[in-house]
Structure 1
Amino acid sequence: MRMMLRAVLLMGALVGTGAVSMEAAQAAEKAKSKTQATSKEKASSTARTSSAKGAAQTSKARPKSSASGSTRVAKASKTASPAKARRETADSRKSASRVLPSDVDLWQESGHLAVRSGSALVISQDGGETLYEKNARVVVPIASITKVMTAMVVLDSMPNLQESITITDDDVDYLKGSRSRLRVGAVLTREMALLLALMSSENRAANALARHYPGGLPAFVAAMNRKATSLGMARTHFEDPTGLTSHNVSTAHDLARMVAAAYHYPLIREFSTTSGVTAEVKGRELEYRNTNQLVKSPTWEIGLSKTGYIQEAGKCLVMQARVADRPVVIVLLDSDGKQTRIGDANRIRRWMESVASSGKQPTPA
């Protein structure tokens, strides 16, 4: 009996030991699987981290073609997926294309030179050939381009240029509120007033010149409109000698006629292209600069120049210049942006030079 009991106990122990071993084996297998999965996950994470670091290092190593665009793309590649980085690269290129055209030598549309000013005209000085035009017959405000006509009417009256004229309250701009360093009571010669009006677009000087015209300001404005009619400027009208009013209107074609006529006045050519002058007014020395920065450029040969701006007219520029060895009149009206009219003028010059070097004639737009 005791022998049987011992046998039963021994068998139970063996069975228990086997069960424990099986459970331990199963637990060990599960732990092993979990360890392998964790190792695979760590390896995959390490590989992704290494790949990201490699991409970032590669992005850093690339040369920067444009400072802002390249910086944005480099930063994106560190944190974004390749697809997102490609999208940001494309966006950067699109952004650059919106900025770069102002610096491109030849910005063209449909095979023709294109400018950004609202109205534009490039015409031979004798008026015989139109090289480029855009809205050139649209009537628009002309701002201080007006002062070219003011100068012609002043000189047509053959006044004493050394005679002194006085700035009064009548010359103060109460319409636009523009500033002037010519204070009420300032005295200057008619010649200096003409120089400041043409070179630095001095409004009080221009108005004082008109007030000192025989018959006063009303007679002067009437003479401006008669002069315009005599030059064939059929769509032009003047109401003041400064251009501060938006009722002074014209077209690019009419203004080209005016510039060509003004070119025959030596003083207008000289004064409008003077880069700067020191004027002594009431014992003070005042520095004045030309409002057209191109008159100082060695790449330009400018014979006459005038800029203009009021909000209704935008930025304006008229010039007589020799470009590609031919005298032309350039008119740019209703330009947006501080440098748009200058950019347009430079594009026109490079376009004409490029066409001339190719031996072809410019094709009218």
Structure 2
Amino acid sequence: MLQLVGRRSLRTVIVLALSLGVCGLVGVTGADGATRSRTTAKRSSAKPQASRASTSRSRSAQASRSRSSRTTRYSASKSRQRRLAMARARQAAYARQLVEIQTPQFKAGANGQLVPDVRAGAAIIYNPATHQVLYESNAQTPRSIASITKVMTAVAFLENEVDLARRVTVHPDDLRGASTTYLRRNDEVSIQQLLHLLLIGSDNVAARTLARHSLYGPVGFVERMNQKAAELGLSSTHYYDPSGLYAENVSSAFDMARLISFAAGDERIASIMRMKEYQFAAPTRTVTLHNTNHLVGTDVDVRGGKTGFISKSGYCLATLLRLPQGDQVAVVVLGARSNPGRFWETRHLFNWLAGKAPAILATQTPEQQD
């Protein structure tokens, strides 16, 4: 009996143990399943949240683009307004400057009388017939003269050239860094046309082409320009190249007054410098030149003249002018602050002298009159 009970109890224990084991497995599985279920639920619930976050970011980006677009449109409008305001300010400043330079300035001279007070770096009125300096301001100071250099280029070249119809070819090397030019590679032009380009249009390639086809060649030609300056007694003058494109071309207002007076004595040069415009036919086009000297063709009687400008020189002008009384005077302005400034400074000096000419000009003989 006890054995039976023992066997039954053992069986019962085993059954109970198996039952508990199964329940435990089921519980673990259930617990694991519940975990998976909760994780899945969390993931499932995260998807709508991510979607909402993405939508929110998208809307934020759209709003940002919209604000950026509005800002861009606003800035563009403001930028246009600023540009217009700056343009109006520049125009107003230019108008004020023009009024200022059109008004002559005077100061008390050494004798107490009023004399011109030029705004340019240097200026002179010179009487070539008597060699008198009638007015000067820093006239002996060497300065960069820019394209006034081309006056000596014409003088030195025409010493030996007699055939102005001779045709030459523009060398490609002469175009490099030339800045101002109407010429093109391999253009065939006459010496006469090159002289017009040089003295009316201030063409740098024309200057180089003349030097290249001169008796001396490019390097020797500049040496001859300096020799000629020494022969003329231009002690403050030194040439570095035939175009004046380099700041190393220097002279004084006094020297340039003497040079323009000498050069205008050659009618081959003077007749060109007096032309308001010139036109000629190139191989594939028509070239029209307008004189850079804006006094030509005005009420001022210009007998010869040449402009010059680079940043180091300022605006320069050397002229030979004829007074109403018939006398000729060289008026040179170097280092003016603006293009109109050099012409108005020259006018002011000329007008001042014209009003005082009978008192301060020496009498010239008929042979000295033009």
Q: What TM-score results when the alignment is normalised by the length of structure 1?
A: 0.68
**Aligned ranges for residues 1-365 of structure 1 at < 5 Å?**
100-104=99-103, 106-110=104-108, 111-174=114-177, 178-297=179-298, 299-325=299-325, 326-356=327-357, 360-361=359-360
Is the CA contact (8 Å cut-off) linking 2:181 and 2:206 kept in structure 1?
no
In structure 2, do the counterparts of structure 1 residues 215 and 100 end up closer, same or farther at CA, with 3 Å as the change threshold? closer
Question: Whole-Å Cα distance in 1 between the matches of residues 155 and 321 of structure 2?
Answer: 19
**What is the deviation of 1:272?**
1.1
Aligned pair count reads: 263
In structure 2, do the counterparts of structure 1 residues 281 and 126 end up closer, same or farther at CA, with 3 Å as the change threshold? same
Question: Whole-Å Cα distance in 2 between the matches of residues 330 and 240 of structure 1?
Answer: 24
Question: Whole-Å Cα distance in 2 between the matches of residues 340 and 237 of structure 1?
Answer: 26
- 1:48-69 CA distances to partner (integer Å, 9 max, x unpaired)? xxxxxxxxxxxxxxxxxxxxxx
Question: Whole-Å Cα distance in 2 between the matches of residues 275 and 179 of structure 1?
Answer: 18
In structure 2, do the counterparts of structure 1 residues 201 and 98 end up closer, same or farther at CA, with 3 Å as the change threshold? closer
Aligned partner letter, 2:309: Y
Question: Whole-Å Cα distance in 2 between the matches of residues 151 and 274 of structure 1?
Answer: 16
Is the CA contact (8 Å cut-off) linking 1:305 and 1:319 kept in structure 2?
yes
In structure 2, the residue corresponding to 1:233 is in which secondary structure?
coil
Q: 5+ residue gaps in structure 2?
A: 1-93, 109-113, 362-370
**What is the deviation of 1:301?**
1.0
**What is the deviation of 1:127?**
4.7
In structure 2, the residue corresponding to 1:339 is in which secondary structure?
helix
Is the CA contact (8 Å cut-off) linking 2:331 and 2:350 kept in structure 1?
no
- 1:232-291 CA distances to partner (integer Å, 9 max, x unpaired)? 011111111000011111111111121121122111100111110112111311111100
Aligned partner letter, 1:139: P
Is the CA contact (8 Å cut-off) linking 1:126 and 1:260 kept in structure 2?
no
Is the CA contact (8 Å cut-off) linking 1:139 and 1:249 kept in structure 2?
yes
Is the CA contact (8 Å cut-off) linking 1:125 and 1:320 kept in structure 2?
no
In structure 2, do the counterparts of structure 1 residues 96 and 150 end up closer, same or farther at CA, with 3 Å as the change threshold? closer
Q: 5+ residue gaps in structure 1?
A: 1-94
- 1:87-110 CA distances to partner (integer Å, 9 max, x unpaired)? xxxxxxxx9987633223x42122
In structure 2, do the counterparts of structure 1 residues 208 and 308 end up closer, same or farther at CA, with 3 Å as the change threshold? same
In structure 2, the residue corresponding to 1:144 is in which secondary structure?
helix
Please tell me the root mean square deviation across aligned C-alpha atoms, in Å.
2.0
Aligned partner letter, 1:112: V
The aligned residue for residue 67 of structure 1 is: none
Question: Whole-Å Cα distance in 1 between the matches of residues 174 and 100 of structure 2?
Answer: 41
Question: Whole-Å Cα distance in 2 between the matches of residues 320 and 227 of structure 1?
Answer: 20
Is the CA contact (8 Å cut-off) linking 1:161 and 1:191 kept in structure 2?
yes
Question: Whole-Å Cα distance in 1 between the matches of residues 96 and 201 of structure 2?
Answer: 34
Question: Whole-Å Cα distance in 2 between the matches of residues 96 and 301 of structure 1?
Answer: 27
Aligned partner letter, 1:273: R
- 1:133-187 CA distances to partner (integer Å, 9 max, x unpaired)? 000011111100001000011110134211111112221142xx51422111111
In structure 2, the residue corresponding to 1:247 is in which secondary structure?
coil
Aligned partner letter, 2:100: P
Percent identity over the alignment is 32
Is the CA contact (8 Å cut-off) linking 1:142 and 1:243 kept in structure 2?
yes
Question: Whole-Å Cα distance in 2 between the matches of residues 158 and 96 of structure 1?
Answer: 46
Question: Whole-Å Cα distance in 2 between the matches of residues 181 and 318 of structure 1?
Answer: 23
Q: What TM-score results when the alignment is normalised by the length of structure 2?
A: 0.68
In structure 2, do the counterparts of structure 1 residues 179 and 263 end up closer, same or farther at CA, with 3 Å as the change threshold? closer
For the pair shown, the structure with the greater C-alpha radius of gyration is 2
Is the CA contact (8 Å cut-off) linking 1:101 and 1:107 kept in structure 2?
no
In structure 2, do the counterparts of structure 1 residues 101 and 208 end up closer, same or farther at CA, with 3 Å as the change threshold? same
